[in-house]
């Protein structure tokens, strides 16, 4: 039976960043990172929009705000060091009407408090200089926001892990844990693996993997699918940078926006946010009965759906209506027509919910006994913040497991 000091379940960007940080802090640690897939970063990491966020959205003083600002700076530096292309293209958050101005000004206040550099409240004329095809009554210009390829970042993390002596074991779906007096046997589809300690970063399956260890059933993961359209290549000049709406307080997502892609120069339009009928349900008609039953049967989801039923209904209608989707986009770029929108990709977000129906907005790390720690929630901007979160998790793991003592 293979034996390790620490086994990490989950080879998305979060599990990889954590392994990398631990090996930097404790070079002699025997670490293995497991994943059920045959390649790393196949789900949330591989379907990420690629934005390096600035930290403007988050409450001043929150862990999310601090980690995002630190993580953004660290991500640019890491990508430069590893030769991974980035583009600090900047982003405008546009108030399309006067009633959105108070929320826009609140974002500006938060950004200043969080230390986001170079922000500027701008009027329609300056907006036209930055985005010639955009309209709005006012906007927030954030020049430090950028784009990168997080799949490339994840691969680089994987290389760092292996160069530091760690291992990445693929095709190992975790089926359970067997506690021993001096460690844990991780039961996988392929084999059994012994570890003194275990850290799980299971993303879309974070709650289920936690329950396998006897941990608390909440927070629960409810999957939300986000579908994108893609701007027709000949019309990419309509979007120079990143264009976002002022977030709608009646719905806990950022709304449809315009995102340039560094990999192929494409412009993604979206996403919407609807319940996914499977935790890996990237298609509208992908259904996993267990996943769907799990979501609909959870009282927290039913309370969330009741609270946001009007906005949720509109999201669902827009998911199936190209014209409704176009109408949302034309608030910011009126020149768009139906023919400009081509079918695009989709992602699934692991949204943590509690039984009261509230979205768990910050990072959640908890334990199961003295041998296992679970990362239960690592929401956006986890990819941007991954280096900073990795260091935070390293600190918590080292304290809980007395590493280096």
Strands (E), 261-356: 267-270, 274-275, 341-353
Handedness of CA 243, 249, 250, 252 (dihedral sign): positive
Could you give the CA distance from residue 7 to residue 196 in angstroms, rounded to a whole number? Answer: 8
Q: How confident is the model at residue 145 (pLDDT cuts 50, 70, 90)?
A: very high
Contacts of 205 (CB under 8 A, 6+ apart): 221, 279
Contacts of 28 (CB under 8 A, 6+ apart): none
Q: How confident is the model at residue 254 (pLDDT cuts 50, 70, 90)?
A: low
Average confidence (pLDDT) over 309-316: 82
Rounded to 10°, the helix 309-320/299-307 angle is 90
Mean pLDDT rounded to a whole number for the chain: 94
Which tokens in the block code for residue 60?
A: 């001043």
Fill in the DSSP letter of residue 356.
Answer: T
Over residues 52-80, the pLDDT tens digits come to: 999 999 899 888 899 999 999 999 999 99
Q: How confident is the model at residue 250 (pLDDT cuts 50, 70, 90)?
A: low
Over residues 154-168, the pLDDT tens digits come to: 999 999 999 999 999
Q: Provide the whole-model pTM.
A: 0.95
Whether residue 240 contacts residue 131, with contact meaning beta carbons closer than 8 Å, is answered with: yes
CA-based nearest residue to 333, from 206, 252, 204, 240? 240
Cis status, amide bond into 219, omega within 30 of 0: yes
Mean pLDDT is lowest, of 201-210, 259-268, 298-307, 355-364, for 355-364
Could you give the CA distance from residue 7 to residue 197 in angstroms, rounded to a whole number? Answer: 7
Over residues 107-135, the pLDDT tens digits come to: 999 999 999 999 999 999 999 999 999 99
Contacts of 336 (CB under 8 A, 6+ apart): 235, 238, 326, 329, 330
Q: How confident is the model at residue 256 (pLDDT cuts 50, 70, 90)?
A: confident
Could you give the CA distance from residue 147 to residue 91 in angstroms, rounded to a whole number? Answer: 10
Average confidence (pLDDT) over 380-387: 92
Could you give the CA distance from residue 185 to residue 88 in angstroms, rounded to a whole number? Answer: 45
Burial class (CB in 10 A: 0-12, 13-18, 19+), 163: exposed
Complete domains list, the chain, with CATH: 3-46+151-219+361-401 (3.50.50.60), 220-357 (3.30.9)
CA-based nearest residue to 260, from 269, 251, 249? 269
Handedness of CA 111, 113, 118, 123 (dihedral sign): positive
């Amino acid at each position: 039976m293979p034996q390790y000091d620490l086994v990490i379940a989950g080879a998305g960007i979060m599990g990889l960043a954590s392994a990398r940080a631990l090996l930097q802090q404790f070079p002699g640690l025997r670490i293995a990172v497991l994943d059920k897939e045959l390649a790393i970063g196949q789900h949330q990491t591989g379907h990420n929009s690629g934005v390096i966020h600035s930290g403007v959205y988050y409450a001043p003083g929150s862990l999310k705000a601090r980690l995002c600002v630190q993580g953004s700076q660290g991500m640019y530096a890491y990508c430069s060091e590893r030769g991974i292309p980035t583009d600090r293209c900047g982003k405008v958050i546009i108030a399309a009407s006067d009633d959105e101005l108070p929320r826009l000004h609140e974002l500006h206040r938060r950004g200043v408090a969080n230390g986001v550099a170079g922000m500027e409240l701008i009027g329609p004329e300056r907006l036209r200089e930055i985005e010639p095809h955009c309209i709005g009554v006012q906007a927030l210009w954030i020049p430090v926001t950028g784009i990168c390829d997080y799949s490339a970042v994840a691969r680089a993390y994987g290389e760092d892990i292996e160069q530091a002596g760690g291992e990445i074991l693929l095709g190992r779906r975790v089926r359970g844990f067997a506690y021993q007096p001096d460690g844990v046997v991780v039961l996988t589809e392929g084999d059994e693996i012994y570890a003194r300690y275990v850290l799980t970063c299971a993303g879309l399956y974070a709650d289920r993997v936690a329950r396998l260890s006897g941990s608390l059933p909440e927070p629960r993961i409810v999957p939300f699918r986000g579908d994108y359209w893609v701007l027709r290549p000949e019309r990419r000049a309509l979007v120079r940078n990143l264009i976002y709406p002022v977030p709608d307080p009646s719905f806990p997502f950022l709304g449809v926006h315009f995102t340039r892609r560094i990999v192929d120069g494409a412009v993604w339009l979206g996403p919407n946010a609807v319940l996914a009928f499977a935790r890996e349900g990237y298609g509208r008609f992908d259904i996993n009965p267990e996943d769907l039953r799990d979501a609909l049967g959870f009282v927290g989801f039913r309370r969330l759906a009741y609270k946001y039923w009007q906005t949720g209904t509109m999201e669902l209608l827009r998911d199936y209506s190209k014209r409704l989707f176009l109408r949302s986009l034309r608030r910011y770029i009126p020149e768009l027509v139906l023919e400009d929108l081509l079918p695009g990709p989709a992602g699934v977000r692991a949204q943590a919910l509690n039984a009261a129906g509230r979205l768990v907005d910050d990072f959640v790390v908890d334990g199961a006994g003295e041998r296992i720690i679970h990362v239960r929630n690592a929401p956006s901007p986890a990819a941007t913040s991954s280096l900073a979160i990795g260091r935070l998790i390293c600190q918590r793991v080292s304290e809980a497991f007395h590493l280096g003592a």
